[in-house]
Amino acid sequence: MKLLEKVIAEKGEIIGNDIVKVDMFLNHQIDIHLLQEIGKEFRRLFTEDINKIVTIEASGIGVACIAAQYFDVPVVFAKKGNHRNVGNDIYSGEVFSFTKGITTKIGISKRYLTKDDKILIIDDFLANGGAVKGLIGIAEQAGAAVQGIGIVIEKGFQPGGNELRKAGYHLESLAIINSIENGRITFG
């Protein structure tokens, strides 16, 4: 998605050779117009039968909600941590974050994901794929069908994306960063 690559190149803040901070438009401050274009692009790319968008808190929620308008479906977001007031009535998984070096529990109530659901997983970033794999695990527990995976920015030099494609998932990343060298980003 050319518009997205342009915004990343112009506004993204490069740190070393593997981090691009995009908190000025995607995951701290949020450019709603850009999210609308992202939502429309996901709608164009995923023609599968989809009745629900599934994401994970926190920064996936904005993208998922704006995109859901174009699919005309509800959003369900996985919660992080131990949620006593969700009770034991949840499907749960674990997500290891290489960035933070920690494992986080995630969960979705059994009420909001069932074998009848045909879901599109949406998230803002894909690197090693921990969050998406955690959501796939939860979908498997529920018997829900993962119809597609929509990612805003994929780090192509990390393995998550290719592992998911090899596993047969319809994965679409709107921008794929192939490398960051000497302060320059190359897109795939």
Contact 43, 70 (CB under 8 A): yes
Site for a second copy in 64-103 (CB under 8 A): 64-66, 68-69, 72-77, 79-80, 85-86, 99
Radius of gyration (C-alpha) of the chain in whole angstroms: 16
Interface with a second copy includes 44 (CB under 8 A)?
Answer: no
Candidate segments 109-117, 128-136, 140-148, 154-162, binder of a second copy by CB under 8 A: 109-117
Length of the chain as a residue count:
188
Q: Using CA atoms, how far apart are residues 160 and 50, in angstroms rounded to an integer?
A: 23
Candidate segments 108-116, 118-126, 150-158, 175-183, binder of a second copy by CB under 8 A: 108-116
Q: Among residues 151 and 171, whose Cβ is nearest to a second copy?
A: 151
Over the window 168 to 187, marking each residue x when it contacts a second copy by CB under 8 A and - when it does not, the resulting string is --------------------
User: In terms of DSSP bridges, do strands 102-109 and 75-80 run parallel, antiparallel, or are they unpaired?
Assistant: antiparallel
Structure-block tokens of residue 11: 């506004």
Structure-block tokens of residue 135: 């959501």
Backbone region of residue 171 per phi and psi (left: phi > 0; alpha: psi in -120 to 50; beta: other values): beta
**HSE on the CB side for 173, CA within 13 Å?**
22
Interface with a second copy includes 14 (CB under 8 A)?
Answer: no
Interface with a second copy includes 61 (CB under 8 A)?
Answer: yes
- Interface with a second copy by CB under 8 A: which residues? 21, 23-24, 28-32, 35-36, 57-59, 61-62, 64-66, 68-69, 72-77, 79-80, 85-86, 99, 108-109, 111-112
